[in-house]
Amino acid sequence: MTRLAVFDCDGTLVDSQANICRAMEACFTEYRLPPPDRNAIRRIVGLSLVPAIAALAPQIDPQAHGEMAESYKRAFFAMRSDRTLDPEPLFDGVAEAIAALEQAGWLLGVATGKSDRGLAHILAHHGLADRFVTLQTADRHPSKPHPAMLHAAIVQAGATPQTTVMIGDTSYDMLMAVEAGAHAVGVAWGYHDAHELREAGAVAVSDHARDLPMLLPALLEAM
């Protein structure tokens, strides 16, 4: 049996909220729009860029949402290029959880609203680039909660929905897992609260990354 654990990135593997907020504020400023409240920005973390910006600025011409997404990318890249980008640290216990799951025979993947380039940068920075057998990003799929990312990850890993767990911090991750027929596990250290995660279909919510290596196999055994 091939067991597959698919992680979200922002808010699940790494704490990237400061950089996301700064880039979004720069994007809105460029378009002479009042920057959204940071709590509102955190709420859309996990969506692909165009739907995220559409949620933050529904009042403007939909064509501009795509243009603003490019502005966001430029702002983020500029922060990285001039080294003002804040570190995006792994959440406490994540590296250890990944190692333990891998040692226990789990295959690992990522499904994220980030671009290929953004995800590659994060994984390389933390020395995790070779730990995941499947990497699914917004460059090739519709935005979460559409299940395309997770479907592709399952196929690439040679797993099944019944042996796959999606681990994420937002309701978008949980809804995607439910739609794909996989198990949805929320994490309490990200951007949506535990109640929202359960409402969206989480069968469990982990309070700390160190709990995942025990929680995931118990979850499959119980099903």
DSSP H or E stretch at residue 186: strand 183-187
The answer to whether residues 173 and 192 touch, using CB atoms and an 8 Å cutoff, is no
DSSP state of 149: H
DSSP state of 164: E
* Whole-angstrom distance, CA of residue 190 vs CA of residue 11: 4
Cβ neighbours of residue 70 under 8 Å, at least 6 residues apart?
Answer: none
Active-site annotation holds for 8: yes
Per annotation, catalytic residue among 8, 15, 169, 173: 8
Say how far residue 130 (Cα) sits from the centre of its chain.
Answer: 18
Give me the DSSP letters along 85-100.
PPP-PBPTTHHHHHHH
Amino acid at 209: A
* Whole-angstrom distance, CA of residue 42 vs CA of residue 203: 23
Strands annotated E in 78-180: 107-111, 134-136, 164-168
Which residues carry out catalysis?
Answer: 8, 10
